[in-house]
Amino acid sequence: MELTDRRFLVTAASRGLGYSVASVLVDEGARVIICGRNQDALEAATDALGGTAHYVVADLSKREDIARLAEEVNGHFEELDGLFVNAGGPRPGRFDDVLDSDWADAFQLTVMSAVRLTKSIVPLLRKSETPSILYSTSISVKQPIDGLVLSNSLRLSVIGLMRTLARELGTIGIRINAVCPGYFSTRRVQELIGDNQKMAQEIIQAIPLGRMGEPIEFGRICSFLMSPLASYVHGAVVLIDGGIYRGMT
């Protein structure tokens, strides 16, 4: 994918979708920094990535942690070719279940993390010859998922941000896109489903390909979209969902 020695920051990547992106990038010869909240999990993840990746402990819902993360990335790489913006999912719940404080917390985690990461990392991206940002959202931006009112509502702001920045930062050569994962077998999805076998069955039945995605199937497309091979993909919202989205456009 022409990624050898290119430098990437992949956030929320001690496991799950973020980790899968980091692992494909590393396999392609890229240099990667990952972040997450838990030092032990990050150490295990960087070990599993083969020891070339670095990690920074940072809670993306906190402004000061993102500032420190950007400083550490700057100290390590000085310039950056790609930023993969990902965070933990907002709390599940129906409209009646979530409090004002849940909305505020989810706004910090889902929206402000994307805003702050972008603001603090763009100066490093500007120094690259092939810079790109990829925002990871959810299929919930195309069709609501029952019981996830916070995700259904707030992730659309990230799409609005991406589409705006595609116009504002495209002019200086930074490519900007978003991906929408459907259902991948990660801890987040296991936690959402719990031992509700009926729910698991309904999800699988709704996916034309008849199965959940493997995280690596997500990692490959994201790595491609941040690579120079995708040099004319800009402002796109790319579904990676096994066909679960039923809309016509």
| Residue 136 in contact with ligand NAD, rule: CB under 6 A | yes
Give residue 110's Cα distance to chain centre. Answer: 10
Q: How far is the CB of 164 from ligand NAD (least distance, A)?
A: 21
Q: Which residue in 21, 32, 85, 87 binds ligand NAD (CB under 6 A)?
A: 87
Three-class SS of residue 80? coil
| Residue 86 in contact with ligand NAD, rule: CB under 6 A | yes
By C-alpha distance, which of 229, 131, 219 is closest to 171? 131
| Residue 14 in contact with ligand NAD, rule: CB under 6 A | yes
Q: How far is the CB of 190 from ligand NAD (least distance, A)?
A: 8
**Cα(155)–Cα(141) distance, rounded to whole angstroms?**
6
Site pattern 138..177 for ligand NAD (x: CB under 6 A): x---------------------------------------
| Residue 82 in contact with ligand NAD, rule: CB under 6 A | no
Distances, alpha carbon 164 to alpha carbons 75, 168, 170, 235, in Å: 29, 6, 10, 9
Which of 14/118 has CB closer to ligand NAD?
14
> Which residues are CB-neighbours of 52 under 8 A, at least 6 positions away?
26, 31, 32
Task: Please name the amino acid found at residue 19.
Answer: Y
**Helix 16-27 to helix 215-226 angle, to the nearest 10 degrees?**
60
**Residue-level length of the chain:** 249
Which of 186/227 has CB closer to ligand NAD?
186
Give the up-direction half-sphere exposure of residue 195: CA atoms within 13 A in the CB hemisphere.
0
Site pattern 178..217 for ligand NAD (x: CB under 6 A): ---x-xx-xxxx----------------------------
Q: Which residue in 1, 12, 73, 83 binds ligand NAD (CB under 6 A)?
A: 12
**Chain positions contacting ligand NAD, by CB under 6 A:** 12-18, 36-38, 59-61, 86-89, 109, 136, 138, 181, 183-184, 186-189
